[in-house]
């Protein structure tokens, strides 16, 4: 199958799954007890103007499927509706907060990739006490929820030692201030995934180390460090890459915990505020963004995998 056809097919599959997800996100509203209008008002004063706005936005008199279709059409045009809590367009809310979250997630991603790969590599190559130590460490990393990491880091490095600010994102004071403010949140966000990636890297590298081609490379006098990079790590890369989607979506979802622990004004904190205040259009928008991001990353991984591993024909990953 040629690349273009495969890309188009995957894109269509992604569209179908996204459609299903959006259906769940939209339909969840109808699970609420009581009628949708009062749910959407979420206990806010039901002035006639507000009621009218909701009626107009959601066309609640129309059949369900028509409402859904209209809602979907608006989203396709970048219109996520109006926030009832903030009385502004959801898309404006998102675009003002997205940069902070992307910076935070970006920092965490750098930590995850650098530390996760390095620890997994060390663990697989060194063995012995180093391996055992890293394994115990990753066991605890994988068992530590990001909000627990956030609380512990905040209590120690921000409040006790005062090395880092304990809250806020430092936005408005330049990039340097933001990096400084977001360091602890990024570490908290990264911890679980560092453990996960280290374990995936370790086991994939151990599997590759067993390969006969590693012995062959040794028999030909290839220096050991080249064997590890060219034959062991290189061969583990495919397994590592397939975790990318999970890593990015976990990072995005966990910003809700970490941003609220550190009072960072990003998408995650917005999701927390929106769900406690029943600001449903905002919750819907953030859900869709996170799911869309997860699926986009997975699509990119699927397209990249055959380049990383020529044994994988396009689109045969589904079985994993």
Partner 1 sequence: MTMTLVRRPGLAKVRTKRAPLYVASLVFAGVVVLLALLAPWIQPYDPNIADLGNALAPPSGDHLFGVDAAGRDTFSRLVAGARTSLLGPLGVVVFSTVLGAAVGVAAGWRGGWLDSVLSRGSELTLAFPGLLLAILIVSVYGEGLLAPVVALSVAYFPYVSRLTRSLVLAERARPYVAAYQVQGHSGLQICVRHVVPNIAPVVLAQSTVNFGYALIDLAGLSFLGLGVPALTPDWGRMVFDGKSAIQSGYPLSAIIPCLAIVLTVVAFNVVGERWADKVAGRTR
Partner 2 sequence: MTTLDIRGLRLRLPGAARPVLDGVDLSVDASETVALVGESGSGKSLTSRTVLRLLPKGAATEGRVEVAGDDVLTMNAKQLRKLRTQTAAMVFQDPRAAINPLRRIGDFLTESARLNKLMTAAEADTRAVELLDAVGLSADLMRRYPGQLSGGMLQRVMIAAALMGDPRLLLADEPTTALDVTSQAEVVTLLADLRERFGTGLLFVTHDLGLAAAISDRVYVMYAGRIVETGPSESIFARPRHPYTRALLASTPSLDTPQGRLTAIDGQPPDLRQELHGCPFAPRCPLATEVCTTEAPQSTSAPGEPAHTAACHHADRLAREAADV
Q: Which residues of this protein are in contact with partner 1, per CB under 8 A?
A: 17, 20-21, 24-25, 28-29, 31-33, 39, 131-132, 135-136, 139-140, 142-148, 151-152, 154-155, 159-160, 166-167, 192, 196, 199-200, 202-204, 249-250, 253-254, 256-257, 260-261, 271-272, 274-276, 278, 280, 283-284, 287, 290-291, 294-295
Please, which residue, 138 or 235, has the CB nearer to partner 2? 235
Please, which residue, 160 or 212, has the CB nearer to partner 2? 212
> Interface residues with partner 2 (CB under 8 A)?
211-213, 215-223, 226, 230-231, 234-235, 308-311
CB of 312 to partner 2, least distance (A): 10
**Cα–Cα dist 83/37, whole Å:** 14
What is the distance of C-alpha 120 from the center of its chain?
21
CB of 209 to partner 2, least distance (A): 12
Interacting partner of 257 out of partner 1, partner 2, none (Cβ under 5 to 8 A depending on kind): partner 1
CB of 217 to partner 1, least distance (A): 24
Please, which residue, 171 or 284, has the CB nearer to partner 1? 284
Please, which residue, 61 or 160, has the CB nearer to partner 1? 160
Q: Is 45 left (phi over 0), alpha (psi -120 to 50) or beta?
A: beta
CB of 221 to partner 2, least distance (A): 3
Close Cβ partners of 116 (under 8 Å, ≥ 6 residues apart): 193, 194, 195, 196, 197, 198, 200, 201
Contact 236/208 with Cβ under 8 angstroms? yes
Contact 267/97 with Cβ under 8 angstroms? yes
Which contacts qualify for 154-158: CB closer than 8 Å, 24 or more apart?
154/184, 154/261, 154/262, 157/184, 158/184
Interacting partner of 110 out of partner 1, partner 2, none (Cβ under 5 to 8 A depending on kind): none
Cα(first)–Cα(last) distance of the chain, in Å? 20
Please, which residue, 83 or 250, has the CB nearer to partner 1? 250
Please, which residue, 59 or 313, has the CB nearer to partner 2? 313
Contact 146/188 with Cβ under 8 angstroms? yes
Interacting partner of 34 out of partner 2, partner 1, none (Cβ under 5 to 8 A depending on kind): none
CB of 167 to partner 2, least distance (A): 47
List, as one string, the DSSP characters of 243-258: THHHHHHHHHHHHHHH
Interacting partner of 254 out of partner 2, partner 1, none (Cβ under 5 to 8 A depending on kind): partner 1
Q: Which helix (H) or strand (E) holds 146?
A: helix 146-153
Angle, helices 244-261/174-209, rounded to nearest 10 degrees: 140
Contact 249/298 with Cβ under 8 angstroms? no
**Cα–Cα dist 273/85, whole Å:** 9
Interacting partner of 215 out of partner 2, partner 1, none (Cβ under 5 to 8 A depending on kind): partner 2
3-class state of residue 220 by DSSP: coil
CB of 3 to partner 1, least distance (A): 22
CB of 248 to partner 1, least distance (A): 11
CB of 217 to partner 2, least distance (A): 7
Interacting partner of 222 out of partner 1, partner 2, none (Cβ under 5 to 8 A depending on kind): partner 2
């Amino acid at each position: 199958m040629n690349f273009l056809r495969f890309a188009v097919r995957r894109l269509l599959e992604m569209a179908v799954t996204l459609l299903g997800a959006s259906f769940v996100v939209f339909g969840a509203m109808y699970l609420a007890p009581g009628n949708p209008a009062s749910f959407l008002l979420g206990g806010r004063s039901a002035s006639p103007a507000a009621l009218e706005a909701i009626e107009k936005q959601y066309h609640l008199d129309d059949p369900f499927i028509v409402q859904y279709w209209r809602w979907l059409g608006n989203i396709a045009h970048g219109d996520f509706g109006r926030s009832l809590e903030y009385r502004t367009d959801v898309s404006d809310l998102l675009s003002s907060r997205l940069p902070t979250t992307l910076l935070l997630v970006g920092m965490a991603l750098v930590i995850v990739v650098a530390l996760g790969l390095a620890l997994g590599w060390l663990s697989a190559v060194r063995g012995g006490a180093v391996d055992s130590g890293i394994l115990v460490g990753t066991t605890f990393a994988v068992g530590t929820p990001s909000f627990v990491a956030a609380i512990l880091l905040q209590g120690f490095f921000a409040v006790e030692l005062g090395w880092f600010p304990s809250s806020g994102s430092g936005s408005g004071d330049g990039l340097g201030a933001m990096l400084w403010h977001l360091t602890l949140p990024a570490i908290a966000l990264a911890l679980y995934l560092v453990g996960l990636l280290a374990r995936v890297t370790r086991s994939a590298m151990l599997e590759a180390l067993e390969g006969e081609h590693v012995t062959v490379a040794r028999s030909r006098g290839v220096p050991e460090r080249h064997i590890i990079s060219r034959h062991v790590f290189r061969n583990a890369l495919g397994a590592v890459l397939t975790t990318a989607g999970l890593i990015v979506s976990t990072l995005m979802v966990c910003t809700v915990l970490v941003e609220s622990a550190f009072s960072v004004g990003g998408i995650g904190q917005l999701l927390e505020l929106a769900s406690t205040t029943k600001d449903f259009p905002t919750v819907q928008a953030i859900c869709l963004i996170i799911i869309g991001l997860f699926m986009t990353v997975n699509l990119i991984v699927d397209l990249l995998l055959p380049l990383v591993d020529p044994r994988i024909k396009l689109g045969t990953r589904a079985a994993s």
